[in-house]
Amino acid sequence: MDALFSPDRMTTPTSADAPATLQLKRVAIDTYRENVAYLHRDCAIYRAEGFQALSKVEVQANGFRILATLNVVDDPCIVGPDELGLSEDAFAQMGVPAGHDARIAHAEPPGSIPALHRKIAGERLSHGDFRAIVRDIAEHRYSKIELTAFVVACHQGELDREEVYYLSEAMASVGRRLDWHDHPVVDKHCIGGIPGNRTSMLVVPIVAAHGILCPKTSSRAITSPAGTADTMEVLANVEPPFDRLMEIVREHHACLAWGGTSDLSPADDVLISVERPLSIDSPGQMVASILSKKVAAGSTHLLLDIPVGPTAKVRSMPEAQRLRRLFEFVAQRLGLTIDVVITDGRQPIGRGIGPVLEARDVMWVLQNDPRGPDDLRLKALRLAGRMLEFDADVRGGDGFAIARDILESGRALEKMQAIIAAQGRRAFDPDQPELSPLSFEVTAATSGVVCELDNLQLARIARLAGAPKVAGAGVDLLKKLGERVEAGEALYRVHAAYPADQGFARQEAQRHVGVRLGAELDASAFSLET
């Protein structure tokens, strides 16, 4: 049995005095997404509480509270001994004026840390474990070190498919969830890695013209030359306030907006801030990230496009099939109807790589202009067709023809014009697009057939040329796979606005053109689903 205290020796420990308050001060340092609190070394509360530099602290004022990392200051000009300084972001989050009373205390350690340690040790976690971890992450309780440990531990250990479901469900549960009061609500997502692949801007008007709700929010490019939001921004405002977006969707069945302000999957945003610097993109985390966002956005049906090719994100058919099965498994458990399409990722889609160039391609296709790239048109019809089949009244296999009819009749263009007008039209003429004026061409030194196009390299050149920050910059691809070129013919044209950008793009193209010519195209391409 346990040894016990002799009762007559027990006295109550003295309780600590309630913390006094300090005056909030805005410290004009941009610490970029990390909340920092500043206390002067001589501050009485700093000394009493036994904080250490870099302690996690909780700051409370006027009923609000935030978590922050503590920095200790020796200069009263930055923060005085009776003040509580907050970095720019932190001060903005607090939403309380300078001079207001504030309290500071040790932050509770996140409750999910034991679960984190078990995952670091390679153990399988329960649904409850993932919920606890994701909740702490969404509430900014995890330090960068803890976030990174979680991401790497999940990546290496390879979450099994049940765990991927737990993680996805946990991520979908924090933050907002939209409800469109309609059914079906269809969405589309492409795994990525293919420049110019702006099929969303064709698929959404086609599907909406048919009458299915398709409220599409997209991201801006992080590492690519253009995201859907960047290209759409050439045609219309992509950041209308959220309430306005809801109205637009109610009226037109669709929108094509930037998803940045929605706060739909706050844990995802935090995790991405460490996944990206590490270039970590494991299947489990990819599925959780994408599906949690779609569920939070209120989608009931999702069309997922997985391009496969030697320079795409997914490099082989077996890898694509594994990914597809994982998406299907998790989506089914989340109550999301999913249709996965594996597509050709061997080259960029369309001609343009960069916002204005891609907007030109999209408008040409909508206008049924013969200059509209065929591969972009056909891929969009194929995907739109599959999405139309989410409508119970559309028979399996009929989708493509209905989509083509909507496009060729001009109803898709009409719908796009309506969306553009509703979000806020920007002047754009696909016959006279505002391309950046400094250009150079990359030409073939010999004759031959285009055998290989390097997606990564062409994207890299387009970015060096300035895309997407410079909307009119990028690469205009003049020859696609299988096309014959003569010596001296242009393969692609690069547009830039600044000499430095043009120089860097040219240097990179000289280093590695990204186009390989040969006698003929190797016809043993993988077979794709139709």
Q: Smallest distance from the beta carbon of 3 to a copy of itself, in angstroms?
A: 5
Enumerate the H helices of 54-160 as residue ranges: 88-94, 113-120, 127-138, 144-157
Closer to a copy of itself at the Cβ: 204 or 470? 470
Closer to a copy of itself at the Cβ: 4 or 392? 4
Closer to a copy of itself at the Cβ: 120 or 334? 120
Closest CA to 365 of 350, 354, 353: 350
Q: Smallest distance from the beta carbon of 376 to a copy of itself, in angstroms?
A: 23
Give buried/exposed letters for 457-471 (b at 16+ CB in 10 A, else e): bbbbbbbbbbbbebb
Closer to a copy of itself at the Cβ: 43 or 232? 43
Closest CA to 162 of 329, 280, 319, 325: 329
Q: Smallest distance from the beta carbon of 229 to a copy of itself, in angstroms?
A: 20
Binding-site string for a copy of itself from residue 217 to residue 256, where x marks contact by CB under 8 A and - marks none: ----------------------------------------
* 230 token code pair: 């960047």
Structure letter (DSSP) for residue 185: B
Where does this chain touch a copy of itself (CB under 8 A) — which range of 74-82, 182-190, 309-317, 415-423?
Answer: 74-82
Q: Smallest distance from the beta carbon of 336 to a copy of itself, in angstroms?
A: 29
Closer to a copy of itself at the Cβ: 424 or 488? 488
Total number of residues shown for the chain: 530
Binding-site string for a copy of itself from residue 271 to residue 300, where x marks contact by CB under 8 A and - marks none: ---x--xxxx--------------------
Q: Smallest distance from the beta carbon of 479 to a copy of itself, in angstroms?
A: 9
Between the CA of residue 259 and those of 204, 213, 265, 334, 416, what are the distances in Å? 15, 17, 11, 21, 19
Helix axes 242-252, 411-423, angle to 10 degrees: 160
Structure letter (DSSP) for residue 161: H
Place of tokens 């501050």: 43
Task: Kindly identify the residues of this chain, within the stretch 136-165, that bind a copy of itself according to CB under 8 A.
Answer: 143-146, 148-149, 151-153, 155-157
Q: Smallest distance from the beta carbon of 349 to a copy of itself, in angstroms?
A: 21
* Residue 4 makes contact with a copy of itself by CB under 8 A: yes
Closer to a copy of itself at the Cβ: 291 or 481? 481
Report the residue from 58, 88, 239, 344 that binds a copy of itself according to the rule CB under 8 A: 88
Question: Do 367 and 407 contact (CB within 8 A), yes or no?
Answer: no
β-strands 301-308, 337-344: how paired? parallel
SS3 of 367-390: the string is CCCCCCCHHHHHHHHHHHHHHHCC
Closer to a copy of itself at the Cβ: 255 or 467? 467
Task: Kindly identify the residues of this chain, within the stretch 402-441, that bind a copy of itself according to CB under 8 A.
Answer: 440-441
- Residue of 263, 269, 281, 405 marked active site: 281
Question: Do 306 and 342 contact (CB within 8 A), yes or no?
Answer: yes
Report the residue from 138, 207, 320, 515 that binds a copy of itself according to the rule CB under 8 A: 515
Closer to a copy of itself at the Cβ: 146 or 305? 146
Report the residue from 78, 105, 272, 394 that binds a copy of itself according to the rule CB under 8 A: 78
Task: Kindly identify the residues of this chain, within the stretch 18-57, that bind a copy of itself according to CB under 8 A.
Answer: 27-32, 38, 41, 52-54
Rg (alpha carbons) of the chain, rounded to whole number? 27
Where does this chain touch a copy of itself (CB under 8 A) — which range of 71-79, 174-182, 243-251, 415-423?
Answer: 71-79
Count of residues of this chain found to bind a copy of itself when the rule CB under 8 A is applied: 78
Closest CA to 263 of 360, 171, 374: 171
Told to judge if 476 belongs to the known catalytic residues of this protein, a careful annotator would answer no
Q: Smallest distance from the beta carbon of 80 to a copy of itself, in angstroms?
A: 12
Q: Smallest distance from the beta carbon of 50 to a copy of itself, in angstroms?
A: 10
Report the residue from 18, 429, 510, 530 that binds a copy of itself according to the rule CB under 8 A: 510
Closer to a copy of itself at the Cβ: 75 or 108? 75
Cα atoms in the Cβ-side hemisphere of radius 13 Å centred on 254: 29
Enumerate the H helices of 266-398 as residue ranges: 266-275, 283-296, 317-334, 355-366, 374-388
Task: Kindly identify the residues of this chain, within the stretch 444-503, that bind a copy of itself according to CB under 8 A.
Answer: 444-446, 448, 485, 488, 491, 499-500, 502-503
Determine how many CB atoms are found less than 10 A away from the CB of residue 378.
14
Determine how many CB atoms are found less than 10 A away from the CB of residue 276.
12
**Catalytic (active-site) positions:** 281
